[in-house]
Amino acid sequence: MKLKRFLLIVSVFVVSFGAIAQTKTTNVSLSNSQTLTQKILTLEQNTQEEILLIQTDIQAINNSIDEIQTTTIANTALIQDTTEKTHKQITIWFAVLAGVISFISIACPLIVNISYQKYYFDKQVKQLQKNIDIITNDVNSTQINAAAAQTSLNKIEDLDKKLTILQQEVKRSQLKANRAAQRALASKFFTEALAEHDKNPQKAIELYTKVLALNETNVNAYNNRGILKKEIGDIEGAMKDYNKAILLNPKDTDVYNNRGILKKLLGDISGAIEDLNKAIELSPMDTDLYTNRGLLKALEDKNFEALEDYNKAIEINPNYAKAYCNRAELWIKSENIEKALEDYNKAIEINPTEADTYNERADLWLKEKQFNDALDDINKAITLKASEAVFYVTKGEIYLAMKKYNDAISLFNQAVLLDKNNEEAYILRAECYRKLANRSRNKTKKAEYVALAELDDIKINQLKNKND
């Protein structure tokens, strides 16, 4: 009984093992025509157990046995069924013999085939490892080259940044050079304009215009051009230049002062005072500003405020001759002749070469009918500045007061030669002609004087219309 069971088990084992071997043999024949990867995939698809056998070198046979055991367990039901059928078989030894023969015929090729597969697999694994090593080296080399390339790229980017910075620096330097060249040319024109102020105001204005074409923010050019435009009678142009200068620099004291003077000329005394207030706010120690504001306040008969401004100027600078002269005029308005003379004397003491002060004191002597003192002062003024038309007018007035009409007319003629637009000279000369006409008993001479006076009247009206 035991022998039967043994033979039955052996038969089943042989049949099962044969089936497995046959399957493996078929799979190997198919895998020979494919790449190593395809073989592995085919073996993996057909039987999971074979992959386990191939993947291991040392435990290949043990794994095969495990696989057979697994298959045997999985086919327990089949074995039981086969056992029942086997019991019915008559020839147990034939089955045993057949089983032995089957085992020998199937197992031997299987063992050879497995050995061949292991050898081929190992060879493919080694080749694959070599390929992996080659790829790894290539990757490493590529990584090294990539790192080197990245380093080079970083250097290029760094150089590009430096080049950009250098180009920007060059551009800035060029702009600076251009601006410097423009400033240099503007300075040249500005210097030339200063030289032409007294000689040729119109040319000086043209030069200042060139300065502003090169540098439209030059406040001094606007201010100086405004002064010159005022001198040649372009009042509107002067005001525009002063306004532009103040717009560019609202803290320029001189421009406020000059615009205040221009507003005075236009009769805008309150506006002029506002500009002087702003100027004094900016430069509270500037004596000229107090003196100029004092003049404006005197024009509005704000004599006490004017006196305060003159006193402030003298307080800041006790040697400021102009403040003494202006205060003297204020004393004259209040009929304080003594103080007026004191201030004129002080002004002359401070600056004995100032011709205008002698002229102003001569006027005071004239009002006081001190003709000799008046002539002394006016002669001193003419000696110091012989080209000033107003001095001859003053001297002519003295002679007119002394009833020396012909001498006075000669002096008025001299004044007109120096300044053909001196309206006061024509007025006083016409008065002299009428005085002579009234004095003359010669009708012809009388008519001649009257005609000359009328000619002066015509000239006076022309000047007035021109000024209007």
Q: What angle do CA 111, 116, 117 make, to 5 degrees?
A: 95
pLDDT digits (tens, 9 = 90+) for 8-36: 444 444 334 343 333 333 333 334 445 55
Residue 45's alpha-carbon distances to 16, 27, 409, in angstroms, are 20, 10, 142
Domains and CATH numbers, the chain: 2-118 (no CATH), 380-468 (1.25.40.10)
- Please give the Cα distance from 393 to 422 (Å, whole number): 9
Q: Please choose, from the candidates 400, 353, 350, 354, the residue with its C-alpha nearest in 3D space to the C-alpha of residue 375.
A: 400
Kindly indicate the confidence band of residue 146, based on its pLDDT and cuts at 50, 70 and 90.
low
**For residue 61, what is the enclosing H or E element?**
helix 60-74
Q: Please choose, from the candidates 133, 100, 78, the residue with its C-alpha nearest in 3D space to the C-alpha of residue 11.
A: 100
- Please give the Cα distance from 347 to 368 (Å, whole number): 20
Please give the structure tokens belonging to residue 350.
Answer: 């401070």
| Region 84-101 average pLDDT | 50
Percent of the chain with pLDDT over 90: 59
Question: Please, what is the average pLDDT of the chain?
Answer: 80
Binning the chain into helix, strand and coil, the percentages to the nearest 5 are: 85, 0, 15
Top-confidence residue, 11 or 460: 460
pLDDT digits (tens, 9 = 90+) for 379-417: 999 999 999 999 999 999 999 999 999 999 999 999 999
Kindly indicate the confidence band of residue 177, based on its pLDDT and cuts at 50, 70 and 90.
confident
- Please give the Cα distance from 181 to 177 (Å, whole number): 6
Instruction: Determine whether 127 is exposed, middle or buried from the number of CB atoms within 10 Å of its CB (0-12, 13-18, 19+).
Output: exposed
Q: What is the CB neighbour count within 10 angstroms for residue 438? A: 10
Site of tokens 């004599």 = 303
pLDDT of residue 16: 42
- Please give the Cα distance from 464 to 228 (Å, whole number): 22
- Cβ atoms of 207 and 196 within 8 Å: the answer is yes
Q: What is the CB neighbour count within 10 angstroms for residue 365? A: 20
pLDDT of residue 5: 45
Kindly indicate the confidence band of residue 178, based on its pLDDT and cuts at 50, 70 and 90.
confident
| Region 174-190 average pLDDT | 86
Q: Using the predicted structure, report yes or no on whether residue 186 has a pLDDT greater than 80.
A: yes
Site of tokens 């399957």 = 23
Top-confidence residue, 412 or 182: 412
- Cβ atoms of 20 and 48 within 8 Å: the answer is no
Q: Using the predicted structure, report yes or no on whether residue 99 has a pLDDT greater than 80.
A: no
